[in-house]
Each structure stands twice: as structure tokens, then as C-alpha cells.
């Protein structure tokens, strides 16, 4: 009888130890940040310059060939495309989840990509963060595809399409 009590205690202690190990593994696994996320995709991840909305003066204009991909800005909606957007409009569009193609020159090839991915420009679609927006940006060399904290410099329609497909709606 004495041995069976010892066996029962040993089994109970083993069970408790196994349960404690499972709890610890669960806790540690939930803290693991290496899970698969939408953090990787086409383009370069740019520095995080913040995302806050501000009141007051307009955001200073950036150099034509260096448009911002994040940063504090006034929440100015985009009501038209194929025109020069202010940096506030650009940042608000990206913040909402839109993809913007900055270019200087012909927009014919970009318009095709826009039509295939999100359809012709619609201000309501842009306000919902679901539009590809064309930003006529004098001084830009080639095409710069922009999303929130993402940038791709390319004139290859396949790469631009892949960028738009990957980041549209990911503000």
C-alpha cells in the first residue's frame, strides 16, 4: 500500500510539472513576434516618422525626388489625381491605405495599372484607402510607387502592379 501511495504522488507531481511546462510554453509562444505578417513585400521599408494628424501650417514640401512615406501631417483628402499632391494630401492618402504613383511625364502606363487594380480614380474610394492615386510630381525621375512606409523606384509595369497589389489597403 505504501508503494502505491508513493506512485500516486509521483504521478501527481509529474502531471503538475507537465502542466506547468505547457503553461510556460504557451506564454512564451504568445510573446514570440516572429510570426508571419504582411511586413514583407515589394519595395523598401522606410523609416517610421510617425503618423499623427496635426493642426496648423501645411507640412513643408519635400524635394520632388524624395516624397515622404510617413510623418505627421494635416488630414487633407485627395479629391483629384493626375495633379501635384501636397505632402499633406500624399501622407493622408498613404495613411488611409492608398497606393500612390509619383511620376513626371506620361501617365498612360500608370493609368492602365490604376484601372486594373482599383479602377478609375474615385474620391470616395480614396477616402476609404482603396485607391491607386497618380501624383503628377514635377522633377521626379521615373516612377516612385509609395505606400505607408514603403517605396519602390521602378518603371517596370509588372513591379508597379505587384507593389500596388501588395500594399493597397495596408495603411
User: 102 has which bridge partners?
Assistant: 135, 144
How many CB atoms are located within 10 Å of the residue 144 CB? 24
CA 125 distance to own-chain centroid? 17
Output the pTM of the full model: 0.77
Query: What is the reported pLDDT for 25?
Result: 57
Give the C-alpha separation, 53 to 25, whole Å: 41
CA 40 distance to own-chain centroid? 10
Q: Reduced to 3 states, what is the DSSP secondary structure of residue 145?
A: strand
Q: 15-44: per-residue pLDDT in tens? A: 666 655 455 455 555 544 444 444 589 999
Query: What is the reported pLDDT for 37?
Result: 43
Supply φ then ψ for residue 135, to 5 degrees. -110, 100
Determine the longest span between alpha carbons in the chain, in angstroms: 92
Give the C-alpha separation, 43 to 36, whole Å: 18
Query: What is the reported pLDDT for 20?
Result: 54
pLDDT tens, per residue, the chain with 171 residues: 556 766 666 666 766 666 554 554 555 555 444 444 445 899 999 999 999 999 988 888 899 899 999 999 999 999 999 999 999 999 999 999 999 999 999 999 999 999 999 999 999 999 999 999 999 999 999 999 999 999 999 999 999 999 999 999 998
Query: What is the reported pLDDT for 80?
Result: 97
Give the C-alpha separation, 54 to 50, whole Å: 11
Query: What is the reported pLDDT for 59?
Result: 84
Domain ranges for the chain? 1-31, 46-167
Q: Reduced to 3 states, what is the DSSP secondary structure of residue 72?
A: coil
Give the C-alpha separation, 1 to 157, whole Å: 81
Amino acid at each position: 500500500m505504501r508503494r502505491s501511495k508513493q506512485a500516486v504522488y509521483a504521478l501527481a507531481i509529474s502531471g503538475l510539472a507537465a502542466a506547468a511546462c505547457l503553461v510556460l510554453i504557451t506564454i512564451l509562444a504568445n510573446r514570440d513576434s516572429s510570426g508571419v505578417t504582411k511586413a514583407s513585400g515589394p519595395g523598401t521599408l522606410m523609416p517610421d516618422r510617425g503618423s499623427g494628424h496635426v493642426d496648423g501650417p501645411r507640412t513643408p514640401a519635400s524635394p520632388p525626388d524624395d516624397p515622404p512615406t510617413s510623418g505627421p501631417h494635416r488630414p487633407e483628402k485627395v479629391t483629384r489625381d493626375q495633379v501635384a499632391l501636397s505632402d499633406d494630401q500624399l501622407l493622408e492618402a498613404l495613411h488611409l491605405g492608398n497606393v500612390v504613383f509619383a511620376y513626371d511625364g506620361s501617365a498612360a502606363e500608370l493609368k492602365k495599372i490604376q484601372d486594373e487594380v482599383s479602377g478609375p480614380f474615385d474620391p470616395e474610394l480614396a477616402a476609404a484607402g482603396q485607391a491607386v492615386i497618380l501624383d503628377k510630381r514635377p522633377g521626379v525621375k521615373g516612377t516612385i510607387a509609395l505606400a505607408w512606409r514603403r517605396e519602390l523606384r521602378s518603371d517596370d509595369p509588372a513591379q508597379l502592379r505587384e507593389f500596388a497589389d501588395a500594399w493597397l489597403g495596408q495603411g
